[in-house]
Structures are given as C-alpha cells and as structure tokens.
Structure 1
C-alpha cells in the first residue's frame, strides 16, 4: 500500500460488453447523470486535517525503493505500507517529530504495544522486518541517522507447521461444487487448479488466459520477485478448466477485454477475498469448518507430493521457493503424517492380535474349565506364589525397612467340614527406607544395612467356603517363626557372634509371628487353580511388634489319589 491516489473504478463493473449484437446496450444507462468520480484518498490522507507530517516523505521514499529499486510485488509493498503506517501513527502519538528521534526505547515500546494488542509472533516478526528495512534505508540515505534496531537481538520465531488436509478431506472439498451452473463450474475449476498446481492465491486469481496451456497441461505464472515458473497440472484440473472456459466463463464475462481466467459473478476479476469466501463456503459444506485457510490447498499439494515420493528440489521448483529450507518444512508434515499413519496401523494390528488371542483363548479356557475335577477331603495341594510385602513404618524393623518382593511355597491339606491345614515357607526381601540406614543390634552397636531378608516358616489353619464350586473362598490364621538377616554396606562393624565385612550377612535375630488372612482358589483346569491371598503378619522382634502386609498370586495343584 502506498499513500498515492488510486484510480477510480467505474460505477458499474462493465457496460455489459459495450454493445450487444443488435447494437443496443444490454443494460440501460441511468437517467440521472453520474457526477465525475473524485480521486479516492487512502486513510492517511483522509485523516490529515493538519499540514503534511514530515515523517511521511521518508516512508514514501522507502516504499518507492521497494517498488522500483528492488522490484517487489505489489502485494509485498502493500504489506510493508500497512506495517509502516501503523508504526508512523504510534511514533506520532509519542511525540516523534523526525525519524532521527527514533530510539531503541521507542522501538521496544512499539513491539510491546503490538504484543498487548494480541498480534501473533509471525505478524510482529513481519513488522520488525519492515522497521528494520526502513531504518537501514534511512541510515544509508542520511549517513548520520542511527539505526534504532541495529542493537536489538533477533526475535525468536515461533515454529508453526503449515496445516495440510488429508487426501480424504481434499476429495470431499473438491466434490462440493455440484451442478452445471456457471458459478459451480467456476468453483470446481478454481479448486481443482489450486490443488493440482499448488499456486499461491495471488497467482491463482491473477492468472491470465494466455498463460494457461490446456494442451500442454501446464500453467505459467509470475511469482515472488517477478520470477516466472511453469507448473504442470493433472487431468482432473484439465476437465474442470475446459468445462468452465467453454460453458461458464462466456456467460459470466462477455467482455473480450477481460484477460483473467477466473472472474466473479459480475464478470470482473476475482479477488483474493473472493477466493477465500468461495473456499470457506465449500469447506463448511464439506464439514471441514475452520480447518481450511486460503493456502490450505497449496500446503496439501506439497505435502501429498512428498508423501508420494517426490524429490524435495522438484517440490521447491513447483512451489517457487527461493530456498529449499522453506520447502523442507513440509517434510515435517510428511513425517508427522507418517508417524500418525504408523500409529494407526500399529493400533489396528494390536486390535487384530488381541481379537485373535481372545478368539483363541476363550475356547481353550472353556474347554479347560470343562475338565475341572474338584478336590475332595484328604487331598493335598502344592502351590507357588509371588507377591509383594510392605512393613509399616513402626517397630524396630519397620522404622528402617520398607517393602519388597515375596516368594512362597505352600502345602495345603483338605479336611472334612470345609476345613484345611497347611504349611507355608516364605522369603521376603525388603530395602532400607534411607541410604544408609541405621539399625541397632543389642544395646550399643550400630550397623548400616541396605537390605533385610525375612524367612517365614509356619502352619496355617483354613476355613473354606463353597468347596463344591470352582471358586473356593477361605479365611486363615497362622503362626510360626521368622528369621531376619541384614545385608550390610560397611566393613568396619564387629558384632557377636562373628565378623561382618563389606557386603557380608549378619544374623540379627529370630522371632515369632502371628497371621490372619483371606484367600481365593479359582479352578481353571483339572485340579489346577489360581491361588490369591492377602495376609497380615504380626512379627515380634526383641519384644517389639512389627506390622507386615502381603498380597500374593500364584497357582496350586491338588494331587489325585
């Protein structure tokens, strides 16, 4: 955007193609004479009630350099003009009379003001680039004016991946323009060419008829920096373009002077905002909602090419990127889509395998349960269990040691009246709560143990319930002896009855225990059963009570005789 006057548009889009074949105008002229159209002024000129600010000519000179010297596109110059216009307004409000008064403090305040307005990081970075270019231009022109952005650190650019649609979403979007109405044919050709060639929106709506080669399935455009490139497109786009150019465009635009390929409903050139409205309408109809933006089809074009195995350099040429690093960002989209597809494939395979296992296990389990033979009084079972034990933080063992794994061997004898008796041999290993731990032996000597091993041997009495079913419940009480042994981590302590070295084992005493618990046997094959137990052990050492909770799961098999 510049501050120069723009040319006035006619009161009507066109005079209907000048004259019809009969020589009469298709639209009658207005009866009231139309006054001369005044030259429109942009917002800066319209808001100037006072004399022209001395801050504006340097900005206009910089925009002229961009337009003429660097030959940037009109869209780029307009974007720089909007950014610098906002900067000019901010500087004027803060009393800047000339650009040599611009300081790093002013620039910092401006960037903070942008962030307070909620502008995105990409917008702030673009404004920063416009300001940096302008002040560098001023420094070159004057030779004395300092650049207030020269000492500022570079901004941290937020890394946002472009949003690409899936192939299924693109197909749904392209299928939306239905029917043979002129606007429907135009929309179909517009979307097909946008996805089939990956053109920028400005390149797409500014495409001239002479640049479109239907026979060669290619289109030539002038991109950023006035660089021309030729992009091929597919047969789907070719069919849509032919239908539009032969059947729809002559009805929308009867003027031979209109050189644009895509026109609006009045026959004028289609604008970027017009394309965005068309895309948004069809995206909503396809159920895509706000996920589609003006460059979504361009991003999808590049991503799908890379997913199909296209070379990165080829995609760079098709997109018109000056640097391959710009194109490389689409490889992240490709990798993300590949990871997503891999995870979906893994989840699908996991579901299939789980289904196969279930289909295999259920019949086997049903067959195994049909072979169950319930034990009778007088039968003996042998079981193995593994589990976890936890010493509560109390007593002369629990204040030093915590929990650890347990391993148990059980013998269980079935008696009459749903009773039983058994023997249990258990080993439990517990870690010290802190490293190193402190443990008192006798009245004086202290050692530093790291682990405690507890061996439990005892007898258990059971009261069973529902012994003629496959699920047997039971309560138990028991008593026996425990032997505790500590593994030490130092080699300096000497205690009776013998020496203790680094990593040696010290017998720290025996003691009785009492237990209560509950259990469950679930028979699943012949005389085999799952054996689940939960027990509380009251372990006595040196006359002090230690509380041990255990849970264990295993299997038990009853001998047949």
Structure 2
C-alpha cells in the first residue's frame, strides 16, 4: 500500500501540478486511513469496500473531527480510489457508493473596516521588523492573497509602476492582481528601509524576508498576525485567511461584481466565491435591522 500511496502522490506532483499544501492535505488523509486499515489487518486496497470507508468516517466523527475534515477526507478518497481503479490497482472502486456529507453553512469570520484599520496600525514601524510586518498586512488586505502566495512573492513579481503584482495560486495558475496605492507605498518603504537590513548583503529572490535574510514562513506570518490581533483588542478568531475573507467581502459591499471577485481570489469555480454573497447579505441585514424604523 505504501508504494501505491507514494506513486499517487508523485502523480499529483508530475501529472496534476498541485501545490505542496494541497498534496500535504492528500497525504495526511491517506496516511490516516492506511493506519486505520492496518489496525484492522487490511493490507491491500483491493480489500477495502464502502463499509470500511463508512466505518472510518464514523471513527472520525467519534473522535470529534470537524465536519469539514470528514468532507475533505471523502473528497481525497474519491480522487485516490479513482486513480487506483484507473490504473488497475483495484478491480472495484469502493467510493462509488459513498456520498459526500453536506457541508454546514459556515460563513467565514470577517473583520470590519474599522477593525482592519486598527490592525494595520499595530506593527511598530520604527524598526525593520515592524515595517516588514505592516507591509505584509497591507499587501494581504489590499490583494486578498493567500498566505502561501504572500510568502512566495518574488521581487520580479512586482510591477508597482503599473499598480499590479503577479502570483502563482492553486494548481500553478498565474494571475495578475491590482494593488492599491497604500500597499504600494508600504512596499517601497519596506524595500528602502527594512529589506536591505534583513538581507545583510546577501541575495534573495523573495520579497518578504525573515531575520536571517531568507524567505519568511507561513507559520511566522500566522504567529505575528495573532500577536497584532491581540494588541488591537480584536476578539474574533483571526487567521491569515480572515484578511482574504475581509478583502473579498469589503469590495463586494462596495459594489464589485462577483465575477471580478472570483478573478481576484483565483477561484476556478464561482460557487466557491458565492460564500461571500452570504456574508455581504448578512451585512445588509444587520444594517437594515439597525437603521430601518420598521425593522
């Protein structure tokens, strides 16, 4: 089984061109399932039937796994067993009779404009790290980039004189994103006053650097964001993705077309973008309740 899993993950890299984070998720789902199979003395994917899959899903639920984790597992297994069937590793696909659980109506946490404004002012811009952190936050809110896209931004991805940046998103898809004047101002500030000090006469193709002159990590951005959220006194559960959600919601609330938001976020399917219409409608409902005399 280990060899077949290894071949599949290699296939995802070479044939599908999926990102490291996506492949990591597939690996995590499959390895967890293989461990379950070995605990049941099942040593071949040929011996897996739909009942086995459902038993593992029940175990996930009993362990308190989130509904979205179970949904992702089913999606991973459908693709994995489809691959095994296509290349004749198995005779029958056990996932044919397994339905994907319905996702709960989960709307992402979104910051208000005032909360974003307060958050952006939290880094101490009197030193090189504060300037860098302020610039990262400005870029994330101005563009809606995923944190993985932010850490992979390279110097030659910047076309600031034209007000745009390039990025490589999921599935190695390139997109061009406009970036506002405030974020551009901070990028120039960072490149003049902070980046050379972090670089320490070394060379790096990455825009955002750590204390050693290498590219900053996703984990580092996550930790710093948590720190600044606490400083700002914001009680919401804020992650790097929250800034992406806030970016999308705020431009929708200000009249942007859903298709434009889809392009900016790099969603291949507009149904993924439609979650933000629900968030935007919630905003409208709250405004109606607050301001309409007969609400």
| Distance (Å, rounded) in 1 between the aligned partners of 2:202 and 2:165 | 21
| Distance (Å, rounded) in 1 between the aligned partners of 2:129 and 2:89 | 57
Q: Which runs of 5+ in 1 are unaligned?
A: 1-54, 351-561
Q: Which runs of 5+ in 2 are unaligned?
A: none
Q: 1:516 corresponds to which residue?
A: none
| Distance (Å, rounded) in 2 between the aligned partners of 1:107 and 1:227 | 33
Q: Secondary structure at the match of 2:177?
A: strand
Q: Secondary structure at the match of 2:97?
A: coil
After TM superposition, what 4+ stretches of structure 1 lie above 4 angstroms from structure 2? none
Shift of 1:289: 3.4
Shift of 1:117: 1.5
Work out which of the residue numbers 32, 53, 60 in structure 2 matches 1:114.
60
The farther-off stretch of 142-151 and 168-177 is 142-151
Shift of 1:256: 4.2
Query: Structure 2 length as normaliser, TM-score?
Result: 0.96
Q: Does structure 2 retain, via aligned residues, the 8 Å contact 1:195–1:300?
A: yes
Shift of 1:106: 1.4
Work out which of the residue numbers 9, 12, 15 in structure 2 matches 1:69.
15
Shift of 1:179: 3.1
Q: Secondary structure at the match of 1:229?
A: strand
Work out which of the residue numbers 252, 260, 279 in structure 2 matches 1:314.
260
Q: 2:251 corresponds to which residue?
A: 305
Q: 1:59 corresponds to which residue?
A: 5
More helix by share: 2
Q: Which has the larger radius of gyration?
A: 1
1:84–1:204 distance in 2 versus 1, CA, 3 Å: same
Q: 1:125 corresponds to which residue?
A: 71
Shift of 1:159: 2.0
Q: Does structure 2 retain, via aligned residues, the 8 Å contact 1:280–1:289?
A: no
Work out which of the residue numbers 266, 269, 283 in structure 1 matches 2:229.
283
1:136-183 CA-partner distances (Å, limit 9, x unpaired): 111111175211111122321222112111111111111111232000
- CA RMSD in angstroms comes to 1.4
Q: Secondary structure at the match of 1:313?
A: helix
Q: Secondary structure at the match of 1:155?
A: coil
1:272-321 CA-partner distances (Å, limit 9, x unpaired): 11110111110110011342112011111110101111111111111111
Q: Residues 38-49 of structure 1: matches in 2 within 5 Å?
A: none
Q: 2:168 corresponds to which residue?
A: 222
Q: 2:178 corresponds to which residue?
A: 232
Q: 1:293 corresponds to which residue?
A: 239
Q: Residues 74-113 of structure 1: matches in 2 within 5 Å?
A: 74-113=20-59
Shift of 1:257: 2.9
Task: Report 1 or 2 for greater relative contact order, CA contacts < 8 Å, sequence distance ≥ 6.
Answer: 2
Q: 1:333 corresponds to which residue?
A: 279
| Distance (Å, rounded) in 1 between the aligned partners of 2:63 and 2:205 | 41
Q: 1:419 corresponds to which residue?
A: none
1:350-394 CA-partner distances (Å, limit 9, x unpaired): 8xxxxxxxxxxxxxxxxxxxxxxxxxxxxxxxxxxxxxxxxxxxx
| Distance (Å, rounded) in 2 between the aligned partners of 1:65 and 1:236 | 42
| Distance (Å, rounded) in 1 between the aligned partners of 2:187 and 2:291 | 38
1:97-120 CA-partner distances (Å, limit 9, x unpaired): 211111222111111111111111
Shift of 1:227: 1.0
